[in-house]
């Protein structure tokens, strides 16, 4: 019994002290979070964006296709952030149109897999770029939107994947997957086309063409607090490749491509 009393006398104060310290620690953390939020609110009111680095993912809808983007930024000054980014996307000819067997002769008639009539290649690309983000207007009290200018450029890698279609040979009735070859009349014969081949057809025959690109845009960041990046960006892209990039058989291929884009972006700052 005496031992039990001694244990209680010795350890109870330590237990109570530990509980008290734990309660104080929770209060301190709560106050720290509250102070952090107050600081972020104050920064917003002053229109400043204060952070060490930022990262974002975005989906771009272009006037000639689409692409996905990852961007990383490092804070330099209150108005300038250095950037690097990666993009992966597909470029389409503005005149290309998905059809189905019979729809060329009779509009609205749909038979078989959809295909793009006269398409020679799928044009994919990968871009690695470097540039800057400049603060034009901070997040003021009235609108809560930061306006930023984005500019830079870098390397591009064009990837031409042959576009395959399924055709029926009118003389033999055999069905086969074919791609375009010069003076290939059956490829452009709408009566012979059944539909598009499987998506994976042609990936083993990709042709790689190097190039350069430039990017400029305006970003409207409406994210809550400075830690959250939620933005819409609009801008222009210019690309130039060392070879002409044929997409459609009946259209002239080009070295250079200019498009406008709108991008939805999400990310974080630290």
Encoded tokens for 100 = 């189905």
229 and 244 belong to one structural domain: yes
Is pLDDT of 225 > 70?
Answer: no
Encoded tokens for 117 = 């009539």
Tell me the β-bridge partners of 133: 81, 150
2 and 122 belong to one structural domain: no
Stretch 198-210: mean pLDDT: 94
- 26: exposed, middle or buried (C-beta count within 10 Å: 0-12, 13-18, 19+)? exposed
- pTM of the predicted model as reported, rounded to 2 decimal places: 0.78
Element (H, E) at 59: strand 53-62
Domain housing 242: 51-269
Stretch 59-75: mean pLDDT: 96
d(CA 187, CA 181): 8
136 and 189 belong to one structural domain: yes
6 and 55 belong to one structural domain: no
pLDDT in tens, 19-45: 555 666 777 777 777 776 666 556 555
Provide the domain count of the chain.
2
132 and 32 belong to one structural domain: no
Is pLDDT of 9 > 60?
Answer: no
101 and 81 belong to one structural domain: yes
CB-CB contact of 265 with 57 (8 Å): yes
Question: Closest Cα partner for 98 from 87, 85, 112, 78?
Answer: 112
CATH number of the domain bearing residue 140: 2.40.160.20
65 and 30 belong to one structural domain: no
- Whole-angstrom Cα Rg for the chain: 30
d(CA 82, CA 242): 28
């Amino acid at each position: 019994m005496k031992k039990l009393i001694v244990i209680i006398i010795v350890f109870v104060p330590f237990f109570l002290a530990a509980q008290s310290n734990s309660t104080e620690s929770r209060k301190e953390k709560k106050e720290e979070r509250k102070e952090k939020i107050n600081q972020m609110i104050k920064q917003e009111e002053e229109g400043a964006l204060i952070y060490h680095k930022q990262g974002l993912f975005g989906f771009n809808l272009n006037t000639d296709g689409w692409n996905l983007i990852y961007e990383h930024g490092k804070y330099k000054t209150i108005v300038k952030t250095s950037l690097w980014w990666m993009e992966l996307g597909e470029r389409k000819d503005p005149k290309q149109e998905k059809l189905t067997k019979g729809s060329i002769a009779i509009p609205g008639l749909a038979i078989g897999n959809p295909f793009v009539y006269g398409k020679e290649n799928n044009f994919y690309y990968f871009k690695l770029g470097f540039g800057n983000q400049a603060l034009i207007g901070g997040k003021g009290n009235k609108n809560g939107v930061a306006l930023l200018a984005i500019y830079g450029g870098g390397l591009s890698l064009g990837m031409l994947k042959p576009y395959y279609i399924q055709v029926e040979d009118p003389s033999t009735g055999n069905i086969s997957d074919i791609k375009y070859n010069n003076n290939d009349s059956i490829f452009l014969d709408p009566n012979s086309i059944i539909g598009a081949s499987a998506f994976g057809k042609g990936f083993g025959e990709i042709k790689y063409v190097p190039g350069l690109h430039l990017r400029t845009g305006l970003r409207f960041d409406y994210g809550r607090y400075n830690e959250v990046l939620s933005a819409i960006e609009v801008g222009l892209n210019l690309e130039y490749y060392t070879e002409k990039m044929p997409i459609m058989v009946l259209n002239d291929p080009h070295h250079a491509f200019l498009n406008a884009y709108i991008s939805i972006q999400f990310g974080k700052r630290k």
